């Protein structure tokens, strides 16, 4: 049993192309992740990043290393839980510990990226072999825990006291919006949203939203520390542009700092969170470069290799944000040299939300802090760059740096 099977293909990422997928994706693009909707959550992003800066400031007084891998993961989990689920880590009664959420996300993504016997033999034989190996037990347990978590969140929204004070507007969390749509839909509507659909959408938002944003920030900070020239240039531009006396960074500030956007593009090029994207399936027989590709063949697109292709990029292994300074290449799916979010109908609908958190999070840490190597690490070359994972690629060893408050 795989995770996408657990949602009965009711999510967006793994649903087969057809009427259902078209309707659920349209709902996500128009109602959940439009630029207007993403902007309505800016206060939550700014608030949670403010909490992160405050925690790092307290730790900077101790002059000890901060685990930025954990810090970024906590940040994206906090933002997603508030935006999507209406659940706040800073309030009592949260149903799952924050550390357990990190474990669940990691385990779920590993399960999604693992090839099972059922994938190779879709018949009963594959399921029998999975049962025999016992691998399905851990997946089932994890799926049940995630399902219980989503059900708890939905039940919490459906409580009479919640319904009594509910005002579903443009700033409502995503669960509230989906439940409101389900309540108001007519019986004759072609597309009937139900609780299973909502859980499927939550699966995508929760797993992708928490992991990919954190992973991008981790790799960006890793590359900045390994490339002091780039770090210096960023930290010279940021205070020069924004001034030295800001108490907090806002999303309006992000648009003023051009070099940061180049840094993020270069991070997407070298370290795409999902290096093979999600698998596609051919709808008909096609011929590509002389190769016959039969109908219903699973296709993987290696965006990691595209980003390091010497035929497309000069010095492809080097971290050089300036390569994008006079280039029209962007990461939104229109330029096939850079596809961290995919392209076309199957591109990631949550891209605007993810990018907004990454930009604001990185800008805040670069504005308020200098970053030093921990004791015992002689030079930037000592930073371990080993990767881990299958569906998503993370930095295997946590990124430990010492923050030095400079404003």
Instruction: Kindly state the tokens that stand for 155.
Output: 């039940």
- Cα–Cα nearest to 318, from 230, 213, 258: 230
Q: Which two three-digit tokens encode residue 189?
A: 């509507």
Helix boundaries (H) for 174-297 = 174-184, 195-226, 228-242, 251-254, 258-270
Both tokens of 77, joined, read 């989990």
Cβ(41)–Cβ(171) below 8 Å:
yes
Position 3 pLDDT exceeds 80: no
Model confidence, pTM: 0.89
**Which helix or strand (DSSP H or E) is residue 375 part of?**
none
Whether residue 348 is annotated as binding a ligand: the answer is yes
Closest CA to 40 of 167, 173, 157: 173
- For 281-314, the pLDDT digits (tens) are 899 999 989 999 999 888 889 999 999 999 999 9
Distance between CA 357 and CA 33 in Å, rounded? 13
Q: What are the pLDDT digits (tens) for 117-139? A: 666 666 666 666 666 666 667 67
**pLDDT the model gives residue 1:** 39
Domains of the chain: residue spans and CATH:
3-405 (1.10.630.10)
Give the C-alpha separation, 24 to 346, whole Å.
12
Mean pLDDT of 239-266: 95
Polymer length in residues for the chain: 407
Token pair, residue 264, equals 């993020």
Please provide the average confidence, as pLDDT, over all residues in the chain. 87
Cα–Cα distance, 129 to 121 (Å, whole number): 9
Q: What is the largest CA-CA distance in the chain?
A: 68
Best CA proximity match to 29, nearest among 276, 186, 280, 201: 201
Q: Is the pLDDT of residue 41 over 80?
A: yes
């Amino acid at each position: 049993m795989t995770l996408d099977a657990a949602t009965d293909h009711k999510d967006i990422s793994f649903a087969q192309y057809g009427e259902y997928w078209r309707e659920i994706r349209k709902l996500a693009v128009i109602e959940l992740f439009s630029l207007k909707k993403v902007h309505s959550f800016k206060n939550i992003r700014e608030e949670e990043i403010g909490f992160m800066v405050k925690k790092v400031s307290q730790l900077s007084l101790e002059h000890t290393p901060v685990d930025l891998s954990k810090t970024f993961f906590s940040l994206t989990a906090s933002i997603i839980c508030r935006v999507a689920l209406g659940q706040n880590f800073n309030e009592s009664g949260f149903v799952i510990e924050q550390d357990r959420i990190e474990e669940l996300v990691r385990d779920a993504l590993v399960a999604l990226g693992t090839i099972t016997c059922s994938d190779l033999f879709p018949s009963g034989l594959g399921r029998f072999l999975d049962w025999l190996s016992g691998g399905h037990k851990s997946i089932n347990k994890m799926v049940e825990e995630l399902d219980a978590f989503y059900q708890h969140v939905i039940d919490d929204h459906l409580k009479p006291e919640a319904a009594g004070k509910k005002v579903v507007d443009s700033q409502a969390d995503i669960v509230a919006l989906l439940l409101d749509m389900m309540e108001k839909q007519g019986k004759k509507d072609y597309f009937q949203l139900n609780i299973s659909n909502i859980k499927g959408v939550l699966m995508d938002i929760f797993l992708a939203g928490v992991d990919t944003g954190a992973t991008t920030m981790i790799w960006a900070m890793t590359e900045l520390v390994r490339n002091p020239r780039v770090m210096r240039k960023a930290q010279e531009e940021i205070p020069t542009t924004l001034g030295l006396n800001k108490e907090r960074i806002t999303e309006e500030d992000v648009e003023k700092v051009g070099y940061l956007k180049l840094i993020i593009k270069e991070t997407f090029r070298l370290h795409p969170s999902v290096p093979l994207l999600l698998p596609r399936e051919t709808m008909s027989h096609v011929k590509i470069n002389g190769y016959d590709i039969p109908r219903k063949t699973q296709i993987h697109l290696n965006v990691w290799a595209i980003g390091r292709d010497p035929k497309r990029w000069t010095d492809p292994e080097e971290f050089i944000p300036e390569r994008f300074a006079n280039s029209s290449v962007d990461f939104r799916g229109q330029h096939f040299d850079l596809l961290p979010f995919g392209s076309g109908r199957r591109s990631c609908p949550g891209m605007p939300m993810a990018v907004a958190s990454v930009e604001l999070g990185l800008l805040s840490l670069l504005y308020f802090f200098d970053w030093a190597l921990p004791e015992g690490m002689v030079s930037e070359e000592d930073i371990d760059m080993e990767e881990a994972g299958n569906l998503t690629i993370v930095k295997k060893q946590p990124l430990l740096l010492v923050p030095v408050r400079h404003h």
